[in-house]
Amino acid sequence: MSTTGLVQIDGLTPIKKEDHKTSKVMLLFPPEWVPTAPYLALPCLTAILRGAGHTVVQRDINIEMYDHFFTTEFLIWVRARQAMHLKALQMKEKRGELTDHEAGQLSILEQVMTLDVFDLAARAEEAKNVVRGQQFYEADKLEAALNSFRETMQFISSAYYPASLVFYPMESNLGYRPGVSKELLACLDDEQVNVYRDICNQLVLPSVSKEKPQVVGISIGTQMQLIAGLTFCKMIKETFPNVHIVVGGNVITRLQEELPNHERFFGEVFDSAILYEGEHALLWLIEALNGQRDIASVPNLMYRTAAGVQQNKEVYTEKTTALPLPDFDGFPLDLYFVPERIIPYLATRGCYWGRCTFCDHGQGYFDQYRGMTAQLVVEQVKALRDKYQCRHFLFADESYPPALFKRVSQILVDQNVGIKWTTLIRFEETLQDQAVWDLAAKAGCCTLYYGMESANERVLNLMDKHAKKSVIQNNLHQAAKAGIWNHVMAFYGFPGETMDEALETRQFVIDNQPVIHSVELFYFVAYRHTPMVRNPEKFGITIHKQEEYDLPLDYYYTLNEPVGISCMDAMQLCEEFYKNDFQPWAVRVNAREHVFLYISKFGTNRLPQIYAQRQTVGASDSVSGLVTWPVSMGEGEDGKEGMSRVMSHGAGS
């Protein structure tokens, strides 16, 4: 507050102190996201709202859901749901009225009813103890715990047939396509498959009833969260019609062109939407709802009036150096499936490179890259370390700038900050000094995630990535020598890439396997907001838009000339890689944060215990262990697109 009697808000007319009103706001983060660390959006919003005097209740329903799934109470409830469905289907079978679909459901239920639900619940509860305690660092026990979670999710899925609910990587499928508005809206009311309706009834609505907020904000960062997030919106709106419901997050921003064409969302599901960054936009929306300013003046806002859906013209971008420290107070920091607290932190917004033609990360921000000074970064990290008793940090930047990487490392060492950290980074010529990597490791850098994309320089130039193969190799060798774990992401099928060039990428990761500790190799996806999709003729592709996909985040494409490999070729190459070549990277511990903690614990990137063990069986080899996966954050917004998108914990709404 200023000394002039005004509440100073940068960007809009200040409000007089005597006119200032406060509200109670509930912020929700919906499933599905990884259960290993908080997401940064809500704490960023909370810091601004609490700083302005508003009461904020922030809830990570994602981790609350996973914790709830693996309890005796919930699994007994699931068994009762299974029994109810089984009885109804058996009666229909006696009458000879079963459809093929129902026959499949009946078969699944008859199988699952033979399981001892109390034994399953005991193992699930014990698995939570393992991932949250020191047994986490015994790879055999951690693998068994993760497989107990997966088995439990299969058990839960049977009660929501034909939905498939999967524990990590996040591949749950309710049978509805979130890119098709008719199916998305239908799914919100489907009590058979939509497990998030029950999660809302059990975890969300009681909290809204107790807290009585005037505003509920729901952050939807990935397409995986769209069904759960909108389910929560609609059910809260039906139960508490006087509560204003606002949505935001990266996916909402990406769909801003389509939302006005679907007025049902406004009023029936939510009341307003915030685009781009949401910290101050949400604050100003609350002030507008309190009658303190005109709603038409609130930047980044979309809402419905009698004249239809309105989108305010002004766009506000946050000044990163002026933002308060993210506020995690109220988050269940000890509930995540890790034995050590891990906190995300964002020093930059946007990508300092920002040129890759296949990438649409920047769509979540209106303007260009912004960042903080290294000194401010370290000061804030120290403050978070001390406030939350946390020494593990997820630097969630789109790509950590080389100058900041070097300077932050130096200050962390000089001030003996004593943290461990991980981040995304580009291969850079300015990072070819071994001393840089040694310093980063000394500063606590444990794991790095690189978007290599291709090992062929011609293809990299087509992408406007402009990395040299020799630089990629040097960076990997130097980082590995320093003890840092290298995770490499690449994809097949960039338009114009030949078969030989694609195989060059395959051979590169195979040849450099000793310094590539984990790898993701997928296929090219034409995301709708990329330079390629905006100018398809420049890249020799044709974009095929399907009318029913009216909420698209990517498009099917074909090559204009038979030059290079097709989309189907790329998918086939990907399948062959995981079938024939992936064994050296098959791990039993697949979460990014899990690998991060193992390196922090054991102080080395040599972790043979977390890889699947090879066993000779006759004349052939097999991989032991129940399940092996690439080290990954799981699925991205539109399928298997690697770490480069889903790693971001973006701020805003």
Mean pLDDT along residues 193-214: 98
Tokens of 449: 């995630």
Are both 479 and 538 inside the same structural domain? yes
End-to-end CA distance of the chain: 24
- The pLDDT tens digits for 316-335 are 999 999 999 999 999 999 99
Are both 490 and 580 inside the same structural domain? yes
Does 244 map to a domain? yes
Mean pLDDT along residues 615-624: 37
The CATH number covering residue 39 comes to 3.40.50.280
- The pLDDT tens digits for 36-87 are 999 999 999 999 999 999 999 999 999 999 999 999 999 999 999 999 999 9
Mean pLDDT along residues 279-302: 96
State the angle between helix axes of 41-51 and 279-289 in degrees (0 to 180), rounded to the nearest 10: 50
Are both 41 and 75 inside the same structural domain? no
Instruction: Map residue 477 onto helix, strand or coil.
Output: helix
Which among 191, 189, 161, 154 is positioned nearest to 175, based on CA atoms?
Answer: 161
Does 329 map to a domain? no
Does 433 map to a domain? yes
Mean pLDDT along residues 630-645: 37
Are both 70 and 56 inside the same structural domain? no
pLDDT value for 18: 57
State the angle between helix axes of 61-69 and 139-158 in degrees (0 to 180), rounded to the nearest 10: 90
Are both 545 and 587 inside the same structural domain? yes
- The pLDDT tens digits for 404-435 are 999 999 999 999 999 999 999 999 999 999 99
Are both 475 and 368 inside the same structural domain? yes
- The pLDDT tens digits for 533-544 are 999 999 999 999
Does 148 map to a domain? yes
Instruction: Map residue 551 onto helix, strand or coil.
Output: coil
Are both 141 and 281 inside the same structural domain? no
Tokens of 290: 């309190």
Are both 118 and 197 inside the same structural domain? no
pLDDT value for 617: 36
- The pLDDT tens digits for 542-580 are 999 999 999 999 999 999 988 889 999 999 999 999 999
pLDDT value for 170: 74
Using alpha carbons, list the distances in angstroms from residue 144 to 80, 99, 363, 582.
27, 38, 40, 22
The CATH number covering residue 492 comes to 3.80.30.20
Does 496 map to a domain? yes
Are both 384 and 450 inside the same structural domain? yes
Task: Count structural domains, the chain.
Answer: 3
Are both 147 and 238 inside the same structural domain? no
Tokens of 276: 């781009």
How many angstroms separate the CA atoms of 527 and 645, rounded? 11
Answer yes or no: are the C-beta atoms of 142 and 589 closer than 8 Å: yes
Tokens of 417: 């900050």
- The pLDDT tens digits for 148-186 are 999 999 999 999 999 999 987 678 999 999 999 999 999
How many angstroms separate the CA atoms of 537 and 543, rounded? 9
pLDDT value for 413: 98
Give the distance from CA 510 to its chain's centroid.
28
Mean pLDDT along residues 210-229: 96
Mean pLDDT along residues 221-247: 96
Boundaries of domain holding 494? 340-646
State the angle between helix axes of 72-94 and 61-69 in degrees (0 to 180), rounded to the nearest 10: 70
Does 153 map to a domain? yes
pLDDT value for 60: 98
Strands 420-425 and 445-453 turn out to be: parallel
Neighbours of 322 (CB within 10 A): 7
Residue % of the chain over a pLDDT of 90 = 84
By mean pLDDT, which of 75-89, 352-366, 421-435, 614-628 is the weakest?
Answer: 614-628
Does 348 map to a domain? yes
Are both 24 and 71 inside the same structural domain? no
Are both 36 and 76 inside the same structural domain? no
Which among 267, 263, 228 is positioned nearest to 246, based on CA atoms?
Answer: 267
Amino acid (one-letter) located at 300: N
Instruction: Output DSSP code: residue 167.
Output: S
Residues recorded for the chain: 653
Does 176 map to a domain? no
